[in-house]
Structure 1
């Protein structure tokens, strides 16, 4: 693990003890990347900012649940951010009353820092997606970026639900292996 990731892991441990300085430090080191993840899922800057605030509240409240188990602390943080964004997107899908004015006025374009981070990570991730079977790669994108449920994906690809779960689990393992090289 790189020294930067080790430092973030140590800061999360301090956050579990309610160390506000550690929280500020984690936020300053990770917020741009997590904002990019959330924005990618929601495609709405105002919504992404709102969800990001919720993400850091969850991180603060659950820092004691992070366990160093060989996974990167960024993996833990990104999972929280992605899941929060997907939850918000699913809730919005089921809501019939939307704020049209906010959706019209919100600037969905990411800032320069976010664009640079996204570009670098996207190139690396695209290369790893290229190593997957095309249908599996598409299913992973739909599940983790678009928020499709396992049931929706199983129906779309005409496979049993457990097969879809296996596709996604194995594909994520392959992606993690590729990204760790």
Structure 2
């Protein structure tokens, strides 16, 4: 488990700020409020760590990525416009930083791809990460296109890695991903 961050402000103040609303906390962090960063960390770190660990399974590396996320949040919270989901903004940031770390780790040693059947079973049972509607839409996808989506967007594998692992041409993998994302979008909009 990643170490808890030191208390930057009295606990009472950290609890008052934003009261569970990441968007409000991000606005406070944009004004360089350390108590808001603490409250944001307490609210969001478990979920972000889950996203990161799917991509970077090594505990030490995933904790480093989590720390990098909050350093980046501190320096770039002003870039959050409030137009979209604060959770989405944080998850995208965590995912990108985790993918960067994973690429660094792969240069040092080979990271095996997870077994696809186990991956689907895990994603089906993890209610904390997979919303019910997304799960239903994913179930509509079948076979290799579904596996490609899961490996790419949950575990952060590149198109080239997918093509190599699945033994398919790069163009085929890209087409699966494009069509599957379109299907998912249409399903979620209905």
TM-score strictly above 0.5: yes
Out of 27, 31, 51, the residue aligned to residue 41 of structure 2 is 27
Number of matched pairs: 155
Give the Cα–Cα distance (whole angstroms) in 2 for the partners of residues 5 and 145 of structure 1: 29
1:158 aligns with 2:165: no
- How far does the alpha carbon of each residue in 1:126-148 deviate from its partner, in whole angstroms, 9 at most, with x for none? 43321224333211111123332
Q: Is the 8 A contact 1:154 1:164 kept in 2?
A: no
Out of 16, 40, 59, the residue aligned to residue 54 of structure 2 is 40
C-alpha change, 1:123 and 1:7, in structure 2 (3 Å) is: closer
C-alpha change, 1:166 and 1:51, in structure 2 (3 Å) is: same
1:75 aligns with 2:96: no
Give the Cα–Cα distance (whole angstroms) in 1 for the partners of residues 80 and 41 of structure 2: 16
Supply the RMSD in Å over aligned alpha carbons.
3.1
Unaligned runs of 5+ in 1: 98-117
TM-score if structure 2 supplies the norm length? Answer: 0.67
TM-score if structure 1 supplies the norm length? Answer: 0.70
* RCO comparison, higher one (Cα < 8 Å, 6+): 1
C-alpha change, 1:171 and 1:92, in structure 2 (3 Å) is: farther
Give the Cα–Cα distance (whole angstroms) in 1 for the partners of residues 45 and 145 of structure 2: 30
Partner of 2:147: 138
Give the Cα–Cα distance (whole angstroms) in 1 for the partners of residues 184 and 62 of structure 2: 24
Partner of 1:92: 105
Q: Is the 8 A contact 1:37 1:78 kept in 2?
A: yes
- How far does the alpha carbon of each residue in 1:11-37 deviate from its partner, in whole angstroms, 9 at most, with x for none? 111211111121111111101111111
